[in-house]
Amino acid sequence: MTAAAPAKPTAPQRLRAVLARPGLVVMPAVWDGISAKMTAAAGFETAFLSGSCVAASRLGGPDLDLLSFAEMFDSFQMVHGAAPDLLVLADGDHGYGNAMNVQRTVAAYGRAGAAAVLIEDKITPRALTAAGKPCLPRAEARMKIRAAVEAAKDSGILVLARTDCRPTQGIDEAVARIEMYVEEGADILFLDSPADDAEIQRAIAAAQGRPSFVVLSPGAPRATPSQKEAEAMGFKIGTFPTGMLSPAIAGIKLGLEALKAGESESKAALPPPELRTLLGYGDYDARAKPFIVG
């Protein structure tokens, strides 16, 4: 009898192996099939399905809690379908409701093949302003992460616990929440909106050796660390929500300006053969050949 082939590692298992290596994990932010496909083709093993990028691409607007779970999950399926080997950290936002909604969100992403999922402690629906993120009481936030960790057991999906309470409740409360999330079994920790390097160090220490996540796109009130600086600070994962989205939007602007100027395309456009190769026309023809009749 032929021995059974060893089971292929799951996405969460593969992500754990990536996180066990030395160095910063650079995690581009993706939002659809082409952004995921290009990220994988460029040699990146991991990507972040960013709520802000999905909001920009689907709604043409900011990330202000207007996206539904169904829209985010549909975006994940596009990303995963286009780049099935890419290890995706899915933005689960606030879990889209109470602790039971969190469980549904985490379980769905786990079954669908996500490597990790982010759950945060902000209140939803948020106040009708783009400023600040009021957060749940600590006990409710604990239950959300407890629910997420429990739901993650079936698939092994990693849970990234994020606190947004620093601007509204202070760094002491934010650090206490990170410590609490570690107690509850969160795999990755994320302090949003640190004021300075000292606060970053407190948050990383509170993670007790578990990986800390950081957003490295410009735009925050404090200077954005470089990749080398972030690694030296002790961060393990860096994501870049505007890293591809902003250049993509700039490219669309250039294309529209070229058309308005009477040209056929922008000077920044890819040559047609390169575009066709990138989109996979040749691959399609090769796969379709066995099924051609006659």
**Residue 288 included in any domain:** no
Taking a C-beta distance cutoff of 8 angstroms, is the pair 212, 237 a contact?
A: yes
- Structural domain count of the chain: 1
**Residue 123 included in any domain:** yes
**Residue 269 included in any domain:** no
- Say what the pLDDT of residue 221 is: 78
- Say what the pLDDT of residue 1 is: 60
**Residue 264 included in any domain:** no
**Residue 157 included in any domain:** yes
Instruction: Name, in order, each residue with C-beta under 8 angstroms of 266's C-beta and a sequence gap of 6 or more.
Output: 251, 254, 255, 257, 258
- Say what the pLDDT of residue 240 is: 97
The CATH number of residue 69's host domain is 3.20.20.60
Beta strands in 109-211 (DSSP E): 116-120, 158-163, 188-191
The tens place of each residue's pLDDT in the chain, 294 residues long, gives: 666 777 899 999 999 999 999 999 999 999 999 999 999 999 999 999 999 999 999 999 999 889 999 999 999 999 999 999 999 999 999 999 999 999 999 999 999 999 999 999 999 877 766 677 889 999 999 999 999 999 999 999 999 999 999 999 999 999 999 999 999 999 999 999 999 999 999 999 999 999 999 999 988 777 889 999 999 999 999 999 999 999 999 999 999 999 999 999 999 999 999 999 999 999 999 999 999 998
Phi/psi region, residue 22 (left: phi>0; alpha: psi -120 to 50; beta: rest), is beta
- Say what the pLDDT of residue 202 is: 98
- CA 26/CA 216 separation, integer angstroms: 10
| Structural domain for 237, as ranges | 11-249
Sign, Cα dihedral of 152, 153, 158, 163: positive
**Residue 266 included in any domain:** no
Beta strands in 153-266 (DSSP E): 158-163, 188-191, 213-215, 237-240
| Residue at 14: amino acid letter | R
**Residue 284 included in any domain:** no
Taking a C-beta distance cutoff of 8 angstroms, is the pair 149, 109 a contact?
A: no
Instruction: Name, in order, each residue with C-beta under 8 angstroms of 163's C-beta and a sequence gap of 6 or more.
Output: 120, 121, 135, 141, 174, 177, 178, 181, 190, 191, 192
- CA 96/CA 181 separation, integer angstroms: 19
The reported pTM is: 0.95
**Listing from the earlier edge strand, what are the strands of the sheet with 46-49?**
188-191, 158-163, 116-120, 87-91, 46-49, 25-30, 237-240, 213-215
Residue closest to 46 by CA, chosen among 194, 211, 200, 275: 211
Residue closest to 217 by CA, chosen among 196, 191, 238, 194: 238
Instruction: Name, in order, each residue with C-beta under 8 angstroms of 127's C-beta and a sequence gap of 6 or more.
Output: 134
Question: Dihedrals φ, ψ of 52, to 5°?
Answer: -70, -35
Query: What Å distances lie between residue 94 and 45, 66, 161, 234, CA to CA?
Result: 26, 12, 10, 26
DSSP-derived pairing of the beta strands 25-30 and 237-240: parallel
**Residue 57 included in any domain:** yes
- Say what the pLDDT of residue 113 is: 98
